[in-house]
Amino acid sequence: MTATLESTSDTLTMAGALNRALADALGEDERVLVFGEDVGTLGGVFRVTDGLAARFGETRVFDTPLAESGIVGTAIGMAMNGLRPVVEMQFDAFAYPAFEQITSHLAKLRNRTRGAVELPIVIRIPYGGGIGGVEHHCDSSEVYYTHTAGLRVVTPASPADAYALLRQAIDSPDPVIFLEPKRRYWEKETVRLDHRSSTLDRAVVRRSGTDVTLISYGGALGITLEAAAAAAEEGYRAEVIDLRSLAPFDLDTVAASVRRTGRAVVVHEASRFCGYGAEVAAQLSETCFHYLEAPVLRVGGFDIPYPAPNLEKHHLPNVDRVLDAIERLQWDDAAPLTNTEA
Partner 1 sequence: MTTTERTAASFFLPSEEPLGLINADGAPVAEPALEMPADDVLLRLHRAMVSGRRFDAQATALTKQGRLAVYPSARGQEAGEIGSILALRPQDWLFPTYRDSMAVVARGVDPVEVLTLLRGDWHCGYDPYRANVAPQCTPLATNTLHAVGFAHAAKTKGEDTVALVLLGDGATSEGDTHEALNFAAVWQSPVVFLVQNNGYAISVPLSKQTAAPSLAHKGVGYGMPSVLVDGNDAAAVHAVVEQAVARAAAGGGPTLIEALTYRVESHTNADDASRYRDRAEVEAWLTRDPIARLERYLTDRGLLDDAAREEISARAETEATSLRERMNTDTVLDPADLFRHVYAEPTAALRRQAEDLTAELSLGAEE
Tell me the catalytic residues: 137
Considering only residues 12-51, where is the footprint of ligand TPP by CB under 6 A? Answer: 37
Encoded one letter per residue, x for contact with ligand TPP by CB under 6 A and - for no contact, window 56-85 reads ----------x-x-----------------
Judged by DSSP in three states, 64 sits in coil
Q: Which does 103 bind (CB under 5 to 8 A by kind): partner 1, ligand TPP, none?
A: none
Q: Which residue is nearest to ligand TPP (CB)?
A: 94
**Pairwise CA distance, residues 121 & 94, whole Å:** 18
Q: Which residues of 265-284 are buried (b: 16+ CB within 10 A; e: fewer)?
A: bbbbbbbbeebbbbbbbebb
Residue 57 found at the interface with partner 1 (CB under 8 A): no
Using the rule CB under 6 A, give the single segment among 89-97, 272-280, 286-294, 333-341 that binds ligand TPP. 89-97
Using the rule CB under 6 A, give the single segment among 10-18, 90-98, 321-329, 334-342 that binds ligand TPP. 90-98
Judged by DSSP in three states, 249 sits in coil
Judged by DSSP in three states, 223 sits in helix
Q: Nearest to residue 124, comparing CAs of 66, 158, 165, 159?
A: 165
Residue of 62, 94, 99, 302 interacting with ligand TPP (CB under 6 A): 94
Residue 240 near residue 206 (C-beta atoms within 8 A): yes
Q: Nearest to residue 230, comparing CAs of 214, 218, 245, 219?
A: 214
- Least distance to partner 1, CB of residue 309, Å: 3
Q: Which does 43 bind (CB under 5 to 8 A by kind): ligand TPP, partner 1, none?
A: partner 1
**Pairwise CA distance, residues 151 & 109, whole Å:** 11
Residue 90 found at the interface with ligand TPP (CB under 6 A): yes
**Pairwise CA distance, residues 125 & 101, whole Å:** 15
**Pairwise CA distance, residues 63 & 48, whole Å:** 14
What residues make contact with partner 1 under the rule CB under 8 A? Answer: 37-38, 40-43, 45, 63-70, 93-94, 96-97, 132, 134-137, 273, 302-305, 307-311, 314-315, 320-321
What residues make contact with ligand TPP under the rule CB under 6 A? Answer: 37, 66, 68, 90, 94, 97
